[in-house]
A and B are shown apart, each in its own frame.
Chain A
């Protein structure tokens, strides 16, 4: 086919397209993935039995809001990565910020605690299952985000996959916080971050394979 023929043909298809497609597609994916992730959490683990009591403590809200902040930064970065020719550098810094802040707070809490309490702050009661549970909760969001990205045009496939993984891991962590009984900052700083990072690594591995266009 000659290129001029192709141009003639393309010009016949002038269906107007909506603007802000990238943010909208990813937002739709989140709107579908989050309820499914909540359902996964409720069906496999359930909320913590003392939830009504726990929501009075600020630590509970840190556990929800820290991953939520990472997720927001991940969303903004992903919406930029999904569009060709747009720099996503600001977003990359923005998503590191909440993690650095949490690590600072965690180190402060660890140092100021009595030596006998320190081990409990790091290992808690659930360190073996925490990272895996975060990953499991994030699966529906991960799948939805990748389906949305396939409609878009990411040109850096591995970073896009990583940020999609980070977004779903962080959202999964925020949802998992409603089950998780731990109340120590160092625990959060290690095992939640490990869950989010693992999701990002999985995303970076799958990105080049699943997001090609």
Chain B
């Protein structure tokens, strides 16, 4: 949280493994959803990391967020399932629910396309090509701080869009 890149990446890696185990245990009915939810939690924790205080146990914070996102998912699932019940034989509704299911398979890459260029390009350079912030800045002809701001704002926007989709 203090701003050390390598240490932070290491931490996120461990965190994602922990989250995956935590969520898989609770979502055994929908194994496909686990990875989506792990990503959503990581993004939420990253964007809202200011709500963590170092005098508080980290696992309590992580689990509270993961549980919140899990309940959110289950609630949206249950309202969707509940819609089916009275309408068993209605063909039109069946068609609708199957597109619903494929829409719910979120893809962050798709969401990335909707961001403005100033945020999307730095994110793509750093993610796809594995460049450091400094290299991406030189490649894009942007200042280093502009790349950092672009990534930062882009991640915030991404987090918001994930939230409104689910």
Contact = CB atoms under 8 A, between A and B. Distances in A.
Interface class of chain B by DSSP: helix
B123 A1 contact: no
Nearest to B156: A13
Given A85-B63, A86-B56, A12 B108 contact: no
A6 B53 CA distance: 24
Interface stretch (B2-10, B24-32, B88-96, B97-105): B2-10
Contact of B126 (A8, A21, A82): A8
A11 interface: yes
Interface in B84-133: 107-109, 112, 123, 126-128, 130, 132-133
Given A3-B38, A153-B51, A213 B163 contact: yes
A11 B49 CA distance: 13
B68 A155 contact: yes
B163 A6 contact: no
Contacts of A3: 16, 35, 38-39, 42
Nearest to B122: A12
B21 interface: no
B80 interface: no
Contact of A19 (B16, B54, B163): B54
Contacts, number: 117
B39 A21 contact: no
Interface string B41-83: 0111010111111101101111111011000100000000000
Given A1-B109, A13-B148, A84 B68 contact: yes
Contacts of B143: none
B111 to A, nearest CB: 9
Interface string A137-163: 000000000000000110100000000
Contacts of A17: 1, 49-50
Interface of B: 1-6, 8-9, 12-13, 16, 35, 38-39, 42-44, 46, 48-54, 56-57, 59-65, 67-68, 72, 107-109, 112, 123, 126-128, 130, 132-133, 148, 151-152, 155, 163
